[in-house]
């Protein structure tokens, strides 16, 4: 029941089979927890300039979760995205092995669409995550989300192995 509802809501842009095969990498309940944590983090965003709030919840391979929100700055360029906040929190705590990240966002914290990561964040993900297995979860709610491998969002990315 739960599964079919989830498959239907995500079918808009993602094939059912594709979603379910990716779903086998991270369980439905873990995905739900990540989305819940991402929404909680989004509510802590500091966004006086854009009012666009983003939240991220990063899952390590040891099943630990690190959250992040975007933090803006009056000088604009020092602004940091939610995804990078989550990654830098985790890496600064000694984490190096990651499985997935859930991302949510919306103007004034109201989620009306999926919030894809910016190019800079995709590159930061590429530094620490395996493009073929790391899952990016773009969510509108706990029951409405899309699953992507990092490789799909950053094809032919430049990674640590190239240097």
Active site residues: 83
- Residue 101: beta bridge partners? 58, 136
Q: Give SS3 for 60.
A: strand
Which residues, 6+ apart, have CB-to-CB distance to 123 below 8 Å?
A: 154, 157, 158
CA 25-69-119 angle, to 5 degrees, is 70
CA 98-108-77 angle, to 5 degrees, is 65
6, 117, 125, 140: which one binds ligand THU (CB under 6 A): 117
50 binds ligand THU (CB under 6 A): yes
Give the pairing of strands 135-141 and 98-107: parallel
The minimum distance between CB 119 and ligand THU, in angstroms, equals 9
The minimum distance between CB 71 and ligand THU, in angstroms, equals 8
Contact stretch for ligand THU (CB under 6 A) within 2-10, 59-67, 113-121, 153-161: 113-121
Q: How many other CB atoms are found less than 10 A from the CB of residue 111?
A: 19
Q: Give SS3 for 49.
A: coil
The minimum distance between CB 17 and ligand THU, in angstroms, equals 28
43 binds ligand THU (CB under 6 A): no
58 binds ligand THU (CB under 6 A): no
Binders in 73-92 for ligand THU, by CB under 6 A: 79, 81-83
104 binds ligand THU (CB under 6 A): no
Backbone phi and psi for residue 67, each to the nearest 5 degrees, phi listed first: -105, 165
42 binds ligand THU (CB under 6 A): no
Q: Looking at beta carbons only, is 6 or 86 nearer to ligand THU? A: 86
What is the binding site for ligand THU (CB under 6 A)?
Answer: 47, 50, 52, 54, 70, 72, 79, 81-83, 117-118, 121
């Amino acid at each position: 029941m739960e599964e079919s509802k989830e498959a239907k809501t995500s079918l808009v842009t993602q094939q059912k089979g594709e979603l379910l095969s990716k779903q086998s990498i991270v369980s439905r309940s873990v995905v739900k927890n990540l989305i819940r944590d991402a929404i909680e983090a989004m509510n802590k965003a500091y966004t006086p300039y854009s009012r666009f709030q983003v939240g991220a919840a990063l899952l390590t391979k040891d099943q630990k979760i690190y959250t992040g929100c975007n933090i803006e700055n009056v000088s604009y360029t020092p602004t940091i995205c939610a995804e990078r906040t989550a990654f830098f929190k985790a890496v600064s705590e000694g984490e190096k092995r990651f499985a997935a990240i859930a991302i949510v966002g919306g103007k004034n914290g109201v989620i009306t669409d999926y919030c894809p990561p910016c190019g800079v964040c995709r590159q930061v993900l590429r530094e620490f995550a395996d493009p073929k297995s790391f899952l990016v979860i773009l969510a509108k709610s706990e029951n409405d989300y899309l699953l992507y491998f990092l490789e799909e969002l950053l094809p032919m990315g430049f990674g640590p192995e190239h240097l």
